[in-house]
């Protein structure tokens, strides 16, 4: 089944649009680079899992009018603008339902598996939906691999930032999120029967998008941090001012991309 009640960054919140925009600015170039390398082209049939509008729109241009992009998510409200040929939008629960088709040339999921309890079964399901020779690209963060928000912790501003990041990770853990997830993707793809499995990681540092992502994240989880006694309102106000000042060299958890083919 899919984790929904424990997800801190609720997609239904007003700030969700800012969150998705920051993620797109940070990680779309890496995602598009990998998809290009997998050979995507005109006429391909693609399944975009946990779809984001920027990736869906990019895929639609690549496959053209003879191709097809099935874009799925548990909540499809933010995909309404993309729902035109060759894109078909469907409500779908990766952790509980069968694939929305078969014979796909490409299956892609970014930041989708972290919300699924049985990640191995979800990957097997995605792999089974591919045609022989079809490609899969799965991308997920690994917060435990790099736990700091400010790797260069040289002053009180950076120390506060890292303390709040530790509080965020504690909240995630208490809600059942498996933090060391990205690093397991190559093994899980091999276990699902994929061949030619490779992976790499993208680790942004000191990007304006990192600051935008941190600002919206802290605002989304502010109440939970205070209620749990992990920070005070004064701590959070001071941190948000530090982020806005541009004086912090912020980063995110590394985004690990893993890919393979079906025999």
Q: Express each pLDDT in 161-176 by its tens digit.
A: 999 999 998 998 888 6
Query: Per-domain residue ranges for the chain?
Result: 13-146+176-204+251-262
Instruction: Say if residues 91 and 106 touch (Cβ distance below 8 Å).
Output: no
Fold of 13-146+176-204+251-262: Rossmann fold (3.40.50)
| Closest to 141 in 3D by CA, of 52, 258, 219 | 258
The rounded average pLDDT for each run of 10 residues, N- to C-terminus, in the chain (263 residues) is 46 71 95 98 97 94 98 92 95 94 97 87 96 97 90 97 95 73 94 98 95 95 96 98 96 96 97
What pLDDT, on a 0 to 100 scale, did the predictor assign at position 251? 97
Distance CA 226, CA 138 (A): 34
Q: How far apart are the first and last CA of the chain?
A: 28
Report the predicted TM-score, pTM, of the whole model to 2 decimal places.
0.91
Pairing of strands 104-110, 255-261: unpaired
Distance CA 23, CA 27 (A): 6
Instruction: List the strands of the sheet with 130-141, edge to edge.
Output: 87-91, 68-73, 45-49, 104-110, 130-141, 255-261, 195-202
């Amino acid at each position: 089944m899919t984790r929904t009640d424990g997800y801190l960054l609720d997609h239904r919140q007003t700030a969700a649009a800012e969150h998705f925009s920051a993620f797109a600015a940070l990680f779309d170039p890496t995602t598009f680079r990998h998809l290009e390398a997998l050979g995507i082209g005109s006429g391909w049939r693609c399944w975009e899992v946990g779809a984001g509008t920027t990736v869906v729109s990019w895929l639609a241009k690549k496959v053209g009018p003879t191709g097809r992009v099935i874009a799925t998510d548990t909540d499809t409200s933010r995909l309404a603008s993309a729902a035109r040929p060759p894109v078909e939008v469907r409500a779908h629960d990766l952790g509980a339902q069968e694939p929305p088709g078969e014979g796909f040339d490409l299956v892609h999921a970014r930041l989708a598996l972290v919300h699924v309890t049985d990640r191995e079964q979800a990957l097997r399901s995605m792999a089974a939906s591919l045609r022989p020779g079809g490609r899969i690209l799965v991308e997920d963060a690994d917060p435990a691999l790099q736990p700091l928000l400010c790797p260069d912790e040289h002053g009180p501003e950076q120390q506060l930032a890292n303390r709040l990041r530790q509080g965020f990770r504690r909240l995630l853990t208490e809600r059942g999120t498996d933090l060391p997830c990205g690093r397991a993707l190559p093994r899980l793809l091999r276990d699902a029967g994929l061949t030619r499995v490779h992976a790499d990681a993208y680790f942004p540092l000191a990007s304006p998008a990192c600051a935008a992502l941190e600002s919206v994240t802290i605002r989304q989880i502010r109440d939970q941090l205070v209620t749990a006694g992990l920070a005070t309102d004064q701590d959070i106000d001071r941190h948000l001012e530090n982020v806005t000042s541009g004086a912090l060299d912020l980063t995110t958890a590394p985004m690990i991309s893993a890919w393979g083919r079906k025999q």
